[in-house]
Structure 1
Amino acid sequence: MSLQLLTILVVGATFVLYIYIAIRSKAKDTSDFYVASKGVHPVLNGMATGADWMSAASFISMAGLIAFLGYDGSVYLMGWTGGYCLLAMLLAPYLRKFGKFTVSEFIGERYYSNFARMVAVACLITASVTYVIGQMKGIGVVFSRSLGVSFEVGIIIGMIIVFIYAVFGGMKGVTNTQIAQYCVLIFAYSVPAIFISLQLTGMPIPQLGLGSTLSDGSGLHLLDKLDGVLTELGFAQYTAQKMSTINVLFLTMSLMIGTAGLPHVIMRFFTVPSVKDARASAGWALVFIAILYTTAPAVGAMARMNLMQTIQPGPVGSIDGNIEYAKVPAWFKSWEKTGLLKFEDKNGDGRIQYYDEKGLKTAESFGWKGNEMIKVDRDIMVLANPEIAGLPNWVVALVTAGGIAAALSTAAGLLLAIATAISHDVLKGWLMPDINDQQELKYSRIAIGGAIIVAGYLGLNPPGFAAQVVALAFGLAASSIFPAIMMGIFSKRVNDKGAIAGMLAGLGTTLVYIFIYKGWFFFKSTAMLPDNADNWLFGLNPQSFGTVGALINFAVAYVVSFATEPPPQRIQDLIEDIRVPIGSASAQDH
């Protein structure tokens, strides 16, 4: 059976499963649609949270970033994992105790201001739309290769599938679908990682294979061999830090606090029966997430090693070391058709020269005229890895299904968060307070449809790799939503004026900084300055600026709050009540 037919069958079977679950889980009222009637078991919610959290950026792009960034790629692992711990310990239990449907609703009531609620909605939609662009990019990458269609057609197919099961089931349907998607994506990620680790190192556990010696008899460790191959081609060592320390620190922090401010993840903790269950589901989610996150560094390193050995099968630095284009494996030409991998024979010798033009001094003596791998989209590395390693077609098809599951699960969660903000916060909470449950449910479904169209359009013009786009979304959430929630829970003194000023200042400065280097809606053609370290303010990458935006948010909120009247006593009592654990004597007094 051909790879394409097998892939269509495997992916098609998962689609049938997702749509069947969505139809069986059709939301009957707003409680079903927004919070799955608060009846999800903690273990199942942990699994659904893991699927919601492990997006296309985690499944497809993170290992690709690690493959090319090496040590610097660890900031994504540290930031996202640390951020989830921050969310689980500092925010989730208190927000669940508050007992509302949305983050915006919490901010509106905590800061006793409908305007604060609308500002929170604007922040939420800005971060969520940016995040969903990365998911649509991932969907397009997967479909373009697996179905042999263009990137654009792949995105349209993904939009249709998400529309069907998100509109039908709401949070109830999305939760049940995400449980199935977690099982698919984690199996799809682990199986090829085990195969490739065995192939390269003889070690069946990828996490241990990363630090093991190669099974080729050289006696070299995997990372030592990779360091040597890259440096001989003029690239920096794989294990060396290449990003400035300030960007490592600020990007890690931006990803951490951005994670804790992402509404689609926070919403998952509203779906369990109690605060105790919210804490338990947070722990289970961390276990489920760790399975993939501890595997990703090994997948990234092994993917880069396999790519190098495909293009550079002979002695490194030798004119005969690189491969003839006519002899490249079938996977190479298949990915070329997608436009995500491109080769240009600049000197007409029929061979592929792949090197860092700034570092390889021998290139000129060989008559090489520039790096001929003019495009290697990092988002293809996980998907292409099984093909590069020569694994069976069923493994390749499985990885495709896993990548689609990861992208669809997070896209559905994000679109639901956007739709909930529009229908529950903007319409029901402000413009149309008299609508009934059925009308609100109808508007929620219309909002999801509109959000999918916008997300698809922006996904056709992404500003970077999926994980890089997602990092921008985390920066926006870090600079706007996270400080407002933190101060709302842990500070009695911050008032409505301070919170509103802080959110606007944090989001505004971060958007301006991103606009300068990424452009309007993050399109490069509208950027004011080239996006490189020579132009960045204090050397700060736009992806790292969320930390600065958050500090501005905190500072402005406190200055304005202390310059104006304190919150009403009822709000201070509300904060105290949220912070007291249920079952304690103090809680009973309240």
Structure 2
Amino acid sequence: MSIQIWTWVLVGITFTLYIGIAIWSKASSTKDFYVAGGGVSPLANGLATAADWMSAASFISMAGIISFGGYDGSVYLMGWTGGYVLLALLLAPYLRKFGKFTVPDFIGDRYYSNTARSVAVFCALLVSFTYVAGQMQGVGIVFSRFLEVDITTGVIIGMIIVLFYAVLGGMKGITYTQVAQYCVLIFAFMVPAIFISIQMTNNPIPQLGFGGADESGMYLLDKLDGLHRQLGFAEYTSGSKSTLDVFFITAALMVGTAGLPHVIVRFFTVKKVADARKSAGWALLFIAILYTTAPAVAVFSRTNLIETVSNNKYDEMPLWFKKWETTGLITFNDKNQDGFIQYVANKEINELEVNRDIMVLANPEIAKLPNWVIALVAAGGLAAALSTAAGLLLVISSSVSHDLIKRMIQPNISEKGELIAARISAVVAVCVAGYFGINPPGFVAATVALAFGLAAASFFPAIVLGIFYKKMNKEGAVAGMIVGILLMLFYMTKFKFDWFGGGTKEDWWFGISPEGFGTVAMIVNFIVSITVSKFTRKPPKEVQEIVENIRIPSGAGQAHDH
């Protein structure tokens, strides 16, 4: 069977499964819609969290960034993994104990103010839209190549599927579809990685394979460094980013993770605080499987790509090359008209442009794996993009229906009315996300990295100070969030979108890239929050007591009550 037929079959089976689960677990109450009724087991929640966490950026883009950036690409691995640990250990159990459905809900109640809640809703929507645009773009890329439709049509098909199970099932439907999506995406990521690892190094474990040697006894990384040197690229295993920038990007990704609204919500779906910790542990294990394999996939795909295309005749290129060309994600411009592909670092002579986002998806084709494996990767990429998109849509719809309408505009709204509002806002959110998916800013992982910067700049200080500093008041939190998010937005739009007389790399402040600037904005947020709270009224006594109560493990101090 051809790749296209295999893709239709596998994507059809997986989509039927997701939609079936959504119908089976339809949400009947707002508690079902927001937190799946609060009765999910730690193992299922761990699987769902891992799927929610590993988006199109993790599945499609991360190995692509590492394969082009080499050593520099490792910041994404370190930042996203470290951030997940930070979230699971430092924040999730306390937020779970506070018992709020959403981050704006926590911030609104902890800072006893609707202004704080409004700012938090604005930040949640901004972060979620930036992030969901990256997912929709990933969906478009997969559809355009494997189902051979244009990217716009691909995004629209993805929108319809996500809408169906996110709007119908809410968190309950999303949780169980995410369990299925994790199984699909991890299988789809690992099968080709294992095949190619055996092909290139005779080692079935990709994590060990990419540090191993090929048939001639040459180490794979040495071979890749040699290929890079020949073509004038920087050595794969050496970095070009400054240590300061690496540190700031890693920190922004870490603390951005810990402030990501769609991951935090997952910890409310279990019965008790202990289960929140257990599910965090499970999720880390499931995430580690993909994250430790990504550098191997990056090395395999980069080596295969260079050996297949460099200095080879254009007319003799394999079918996959021509197919990707039709999507516009590989472009060949024969500058010297000799019919050979010059793929080199020198931009004047280079004739080939390769989009980073195709590396994982094209990898099995370049390695000549069976058609069903190639189709499996397409189904996996869709599972990764759709699982995260659904989680984000839920954050957007609950921010609007629960935090804006129920808590601020119309407190007397019925449960049925709130559920309808949540579903309508999800529909609007999908349409906006689809627009950004069709007209994306940058490639998937860069778009997603900016979402992390925004979350770091706005939420993280407000959440951490809200939990660990009982004298933190509403004035400080609101001032900090506003200054942090505006500073990050200014820097991002100046250096990414060339607004305000856009600057070049040389103009970066302290040499810090827009992806790493979230850390600077977060530090400013902390300073502003604490300074303002020192010069304004202390929070009410009952709020201080709540904060103290969150940090004491339940059951402590009962034996010797005063």
Query: In the TM superposition, what are the counterparts of 1:123-162 in structure 2 within 5 Å?
Result: 123-162=123-162
Q: In the alignment, residue 279 of structure 1 is paired with which amino acid?
A: R
Q: Residue 220 of structure 1: which of 214, 218, 221 is its match?
A: 218
Quote the residue 1:323 is aligned against: 312
Structure-2 separation of matches of 1:497 and 1:255: 27
State the Cα distance separating 1:528 from its structure 2 match: 3.0
1:303 aligns with 2:275: no
Q: In the alignment, residue 502 of structure 2 is paired with which amino acid?
A: L
State the Cα distance separating 1:214 from its structure 2 match: 1.1
Query: In the TM superposition, what are the counterparts of 1:172-571 in structure 2 within 5 Å?
Result: 172-215=172-215, 217=216, 219-312=217-310, 322-357=311-346, 370-373=349-352, 375-519=353-497, 526=499, 528-530=501-503, 532-571=504-543
SS at match of 2:331: strand
SS at match of 2:172: helix
Q: In the alignment, residue 58 of structure 1 is paired with which amino acid?
A: S
Structure-2 separation of matches of 1:305 and 1:161: 36
State the Cα distance separating 1:589 from its structure 2 match: 5.8
Structure-1 separation of matches of 2:396 and 2:488: 20
Structure-2 separation of matches of 1:470 and 1:447: 22
Structure-2 separation of matches of 1:588 and 1:154: 63
Query: In the TM superposition, what are the counterparts of 1:14-163 in structure 2 within 5 Å?
Result: 14-163=14-163
RMSD of equivalent CA atoms = 1.2
Q: In the alignment, residue 283 of structure 2 is paired with which amino acid?
A: A
Deviations 1:207-258 (A, max 9, x none): 000100012x1x2111010001001110000000111111100000000000
Deviations 1:64-101 (A, max 9, x none): 00000000111000000000000001100000011111
TM-score by length of 2: 0.99
State the Cα distance separating 1:114 from its structure 2 match: 1.1
Q: In the alignment, residue 156 of structure 1 is paired with which amino acid?
A: I
Deviations 1:247-275 (A, max 9, x none): 10000000000000000000000100000
* CA contact 1:515–1:528 (8 Å) conserved in 2: no
* CA contact 1:580–1:586 (8 Å) conserved in 2: no
Q: In the alignment, residue 92 of structure 1 is paired with which amino acid?
A: A
* CA contact 1:181–1:405 (8 Å) conserved in 2: yes
State the Cα distance separating 1:586 from its structure 2 match: 5.9
* CA contact 1:25–1:173 (8 Å) conserved in 2: yes
Q: In the alignment, residue 411 of structure 1 is paired with which amino acid?
A: A
Q: In the alignment, residue 344 of structure 1 is paired with which amino acid?
A: N
Q: In the alignment, residue 317 of structure 2 is paired with which amino acid?
A: V
Deviations 1:17-41 (A, max 9, x none): 0001001111001000000010000
Deviations 1:148-201 (A, max 9, x none): 011111111111110101000000000000000000000000000000000011
Structure-2 separation of matches of 1:432 and 1:394: 52
Q: In the alignment, residue 221 of structure 1 is paired with which amino acid?
A: Y
* CA contact 1:518–1:527 (8 Å) conserved in 2: no
Structure-2 separation of matches of 1:86 and 1:377: 32
Structure-1 separation of matches of 2:96 and 2:202: 46
Structure-1 separation of matches of 2:207 and 2:362: 20
Which 4+ residue blocks in structure 1 deviate beyond 4 angstroms? 586-590
Structure 2: give runs of 5+ residues left out of the alignment: none
Deviations 1:413-451 (A, max 9, x none): 001001100000000000111101110000000000000
* CA contact 1:577–1:587 (8 Å) conserved in 2: no
Quote the residue 1:12 is aligned against: 12
Structure-2 separation of matches of 1:102 and 1:345: 53
* CA contact 1:581–1:587 (8 Å) conserved in 2: no
State the Cα distance separating 1:459 from its structure 2 match: 1.2
Q: In the alignment, residue 83 of structure 1 is paired with which amino acid?
A: G
SS at match of 1:342: strand
Q: In the alignment, residue 341 of structure 2 is paired with which amino acid?
A: I
Quote the residue 1:576 is aligned against: 548
Structure-1 separation of matches of 2:195 and 2:189: 11
Structure-2 separation of matches of 1:427 and 1:561: 29
State the Cα distance separating 1:535 from its structure 2 match: 2.2
Q: In the alignment, residue 404 of structure 2 is paired with which amino acid?
A: V
Q: In the alignment, residue 330 of structure 2 is paired with which amino acid?
A: L
Structure-1 separation of matches of 2:481 and 2:146: 42
State the Cα distance separating 1:518 from its structure 2 match: 2.1
* CA contact 1:580–1:587 (8 Å) conserved in 2: no
Structure-2 separation of matches of 1:589 and 1:107: 31
Structure-2 separation of matches of 1:589 and 1:150: 68
Deviations 1:96-134 (A, max 9, x none): 011111111111111111110111111111111101111
State the Cα distance separating 1:137 from its structure 2 match: 0.9
Structure-2 separation of matches of 1:5 and 1:233: 37
State the Cα distance separating 1:527 from its structure 2 match: 6.7
* CA contact 1:428–1:440 (8 Å) conserved in 2: yes
1:589–1:196 Cα change, 3 Å = farther
State the Cα distance separating 1:529 from its structure 2 match: 1.3
SS at match of 2:349: coil
* CA contact 1:259–1:478 (8 Å) conserved in 2: yes
Structure-1 separation of matches of 2:21 and 2:292: 30
Aligned residues: 562
Structure 1: give runs of 5+ residues left out of the alignment: 313-321, 359-368
Quote the residue 2:557 is aligned against: 585
Q: In the alignment, residue 377 of structure 1 is paired with which amino acid?
A: N
SS at match of 1:566: coil
Deviations 1:368-416 (A, max 9, x none): x62100x211000000000000000000010000000000000000010
Structure-2 separation of matches of 1:352 and 1:400: 27
SS at match of 1:370: coil
Structure-2 separation of matches of 1:154 and 1:454: 15
State the Cα distance separating 1:583 from its structure 2 match: 2.2
* CA contact 1:517–1:527 (8 Å) conserved in 2: no
SS at match of 1:584: coil
State the Cα distance separating 1:494 from its structure 2 match: 1.0
* CA contact 1:7–1:147 (8 Å) conserved in 2: yes
Structure-2 separation of matches of 1:505 and 1:9: 50
